[in-house]
Structure 1
């Protein structure tokens, strides 16, 4: 069964649908794999053993009766521990909710299950997804499969680590400032932040939240597309929701030849580790070698850093409004973000809106001229697993604990789709991610480019994955 763990999610689902392998067989092998590998990584924080086996048996029964198993038939799915799962503990990484078991699935989970995916468990996250390194007071720290001494990034760090270690095939996560892209870069997988509205976020405390989105992560761009197609689509329960067309066929057919891309190594002006920039430049050159036209541009989105901090503070206050007078019950990251929000004035928010608008116009001009923008996803290599954040990049001190992920969060507030795809390995053998940014609702194009990059620059697998 060991070869099964190298199959793509799309291939696995096809084999389950035609009954070349049973869903129960897949789930039992996956649970054994988690038992063997997870103790050294702490990526899957709650294993839904009984629920997964029951779901697999039900699926095998439907297939035996000639029923359709769905596009994700039998594929083990990890769900970030801030996304509700019916009957499966969901702690949000917070001691306040350590024993919380939701009664209903979040919409994205319900859609994945309806498509045949099997929830194998919950993946670890920082408290309420606040932070780009994955640790919390309930489960502790998650470690990077490429080197367990290092962080997997965050906040969907458990999902990324579980994917890279071959414990799951698909991961559901969220992204406010880079929570799907940063861990994808650190763990050598593909993570996509969709355009707000493509994937309806239900339930959420603030119904029309335009900043945090739900989205997919997997080991390949085609698998990400398959999960995105299932997650997407209009919902009357989400005021930003829009109808969406599938992207999988577009991703599979995408050809980089003759396409024009912009390359900018430091859009946020915080500095980039030289080795990170070198690996990303190599990926860009490989795209040129495959027939793409790439031009280096000077794009300065640094003022979006100030805008994001103000909007992030407002977001945290809105998310935790009922508990803003009880900050001692939160960890330091959540509490400090709420304090920042409470100290933010209307004038600060108005300025943030203006800065965001200015930067949007700069980015929109680039995306009118080019098919996509290419830039390093994370400007540093994975750091120590017990470290909250890097204090400097290429000798430049960071202004805030979240400043180091500015290359991802400056795009979050623009409302555009962005993905991270492996661009290579550093000298230390750690993954480097290339970020691909496209126009609104052009996820197929973004993932098509990612599909080309991963074929041009395969990185293999971490030793821990066998």
Structure 2
């Protein structure tokens, strides 16, 4: 059954524009009416440039009428995560100290998506410093999940996931260092792709004054269909102008055309981050479906990696990568904490503070461990194409904005556990720079979306997305949240 126009994929919207079934301005206005009607309760889109968007849409209509060559996303209305620079709009990362900071030029991803034809009209909400699986801050307030307004849409690209799921935008772009693309995709029932590290330049995805590219973190697309991920990744990918003098990107395209062409391993849970039975059940159902459809499925195959060590390496490298944003006072406290905590304290807080205070010599040692894990993953991918595993330990959880994040808990299998435990599933692929695609595969008993994480070999981005495309076609497509459809 075909979906209503606001819920169609970006590819379908662009096709409607090319075939002159709808005009670019008409399509933009359709989404703007939905934003006016639904965004007040969602608070997903937090900054707009309506006048500029209408001018771009009119120019796009003239290009269609003139028979000009059109980009693959010509006329598709788009919003983008607040952390990307968009000329004329604020870039605050939810920090009141930057509330008056207005970008003077576009980030590279913004520009490349506009070059592909999108009509960009606004920005979507984030948590403070992009550091939560909820999306709230003192600048813009809190974003709600369109499946249940009392729950988080995820983070840090939470506004992106909510806007897509509710049919307020045609396509989105986010960033991911701790599941910030994958987590909102999972919580909101959309698709998201975390590219291999370095595939998409993050130029212009930074607070004012910062220009260096960080470790682990990547930028990539979110969408209402897997094919849109492929189109958007192709538009975004490649080096910036400086690196482009020396190299060009050639990601291998998948040669597989059927699900049974794939060999997959399945991991349902891990002692580092126990996964709720509701999530395990949906992934098990998927594995059974794949096996019945002649896909080689193993629930035993694993890379030869100690996952406790992986989690330790990831958390410390992650926190080292983001420590440059810390004030001197916060950094000095991290140094004190790291020195005073018992060596056998492996809690998230202890590992976080050790990472925040990491010496360069210690970083080099962790990086050596990381590269040994890369080799172990590469050996694993000699026998298997993909690893299927959870994105997070539960479906979207209720809003909880009290106190410090590492002290909050969520319910997993009727037990209260630290919410930060689930960061393991972000690092399982992230620390070793591999790609992973989040795709919706079912719902919890409460009717909340549940997704699967599709991990591939480094630079196997299109292989992950191809598998997601086939799943979308043969297993589960996009389902709009009832209150917005």
After TM superposition, the score normalised by the length of structure 1 is 0.90
For residue 4 of structure 1, report the CA deviation from its aligned partner.
1.7
Q: Give the Cα–Cα distance (whole angstroms) in 1 for the partners of residues 116 and 282 of structure 2.
A: 37
Q: CA deviation at 1:65?
A: 2.1
Q: Name which of structure 1's ranges 305-314 and 350-359 shifts more when overlaid on structure 2.
A: 350-359
1:312 is matched with which residue?
A: 318
Q: 2:437 aligns with which of 419, 430, 435?
A: 419
1:353 Cα offset (Å): 2.3
8 Å Cα contact 2:435-2:456 kept in structure 1: yes
- Partner residue in 1 for 2:336: none
Give yes or no for contact 1:234–1:244 (8 Å, CA) kept in 2.
yes
Counterparts in 2 of 1:63 and 1:459: CA distance versus 1, 3 Å: closer
Q: Match of 2:4, SS?
A: helix
The answer to whether 1:273 aligns with 2:276 is yes
Cα distance in 2 for residues equivalent to 1:156 and 1:218: 12
- Deviations 1:312-331 (Å, cap 9, x if unpaired)? 2221223x26x445889xxx
Q: CA contact under 8 A between 1:131 and 1:402: conserved in structure 2? A: no
Tell which deviates more after alignment, 54-63 or 431-440.
54-63
Candidates 385, 388, 398, aligned match of 1:374:
388
- 1:340 deviates by 5.4
TM-fit CA distance, 1:339: 5.9
In structure 1, the partner of 2:33 is 32
Change beyond 3 A, Cα 1:438–1:461: same
Deviation readout 1:29-49 (Å, 9 max, x if unpaired): 110110111111111111221
Distance 1:200 1:242, change over 3 A: farther
Task: Quote the RMSD (CA, aligned, Å).
Answer: 2.7
CA contact (8 A) 2:251 2:460 kept: no
- How far apart, CA to CA, are the structure 1 residues paired with 2:194 and 2:271? 18
Q: Are the aligned partners of 1:207 and 1:239 in contact in 2 as well (CA < 8 Å)? A: no
- For residues 97-246 of structure 1, the aligned pairs below 5 Å read 97-203=98-204, 204=206, 205=210, 207-238=212-243, 243-245=248-250
Distance 1:140 1:165, change over 3 A: same
**Cross-structure match for 1:332:** none
**Is contact 1:84-1:105 (8 Å) kept?**
yes
Answer whether contact 2:331 2:356 (CA < 8 A) is retained. no
Asked if structure 2 preserves the Cα contact closer than 8 Å seen for 1:233 and 1:241, the reply is no
Q: Could you say what secondary structure the match of 2:382 adopts?
A: helix
Distance 1:301-1:278 versus aligned 2 partners, 3 A rule: same
Tell me the distance in 1 between the aligned counterparts of 2:4 and 2:465: 26
Distance 1:235 1:267, change over 3 A: farther
What's the counterpart of residue 413 of structure 2? Answer: 394
Deviates more, 1:185-194 or 1:388-397: 388-397
Partner of 2:339: none
Cα deviation for residue 128 of structure 1 reads 2.0
Give 3-state SS (helix, strand or coil) of 1:257's partner: helix
The 2-side partners of 1:118 and 1:218 are apart by: 15
> Structure 1 stretch 345-354 or stretch 262-271: which is displaced more?
345-354
Q: Which residue of 2 aligns with 1:255?
A: 258
Is 1:407 aligned to residue 425 of structure 2? yes
Superposed, which structure 2 residues align to 1:330-345 within 5 Å? 341-345=355-359
The alignment partner of 1:57 has SS state of helix
User: How has the CA–CA distance of structure 1 residues 444 and 267 changed in structure 2, closer, same or farther, with 3 Å as cutoff?
Assistant: farther
TM-score calculated relative to the size of structure 2: 0.87
Question: What are the superposed Cα offsets for residues 288-319 of structure 1, whole Å, 9 maximum, x if unpaired?
Answer: 2332110112645232221122112221223x
3-state secondary structure, aligned to 1:368: coil
Contact 2:239–2:248 (8 Å) recurs in 1: yes
CA distance in 2, matches of 1:240, 1:139: 39
CA contact (8 A) 1:261 1:293 kept: yes
| Alpha-carbon contact 2:174-2:220 (below 8 Å) kept | yes
Query: Per-residue displacement from partner, 1:200-250 (whole Å, max 9, x unpaired)?
Result: 111353534231111000011001111111101232335899633478x85
- Kindly state the Cα deviation for residue 7 of structure 1 after the two structures are TM-superposed: 2.2
Secondary structure of 2:47's counterpart equals: strand
Aligned residues: 454
> For 2:226 and 2:357, how far apart are their aligned partners in 1?
41
Q: Which residue of 2 aligns with 1:464?
A: 483
Q: How many Å separate the matches in 1 of 2:440 and 2:72? A: 25
In structure 2, what is the Cα distance between the partners aligned to 1:246 and 1:428?
39
Residue aligned with 1:109, SS:
helix
| Distance of aligned partners of 1:342 and 1:281 in 2 relative to their CA distance in 1, 3 Å threshold | closer
Measured in 2, the distance between the counterparts of 1:239 and 1:398 equals 46
Structure 1 SS opposite 2:122: strand
Question: CA separation in 2, counterparts of 1:338 and 1:297?
Answer: 31
The 1:115–1:355 alpha-carbon spacing in structure 2 relative to 1, beyond 3 Å, is same
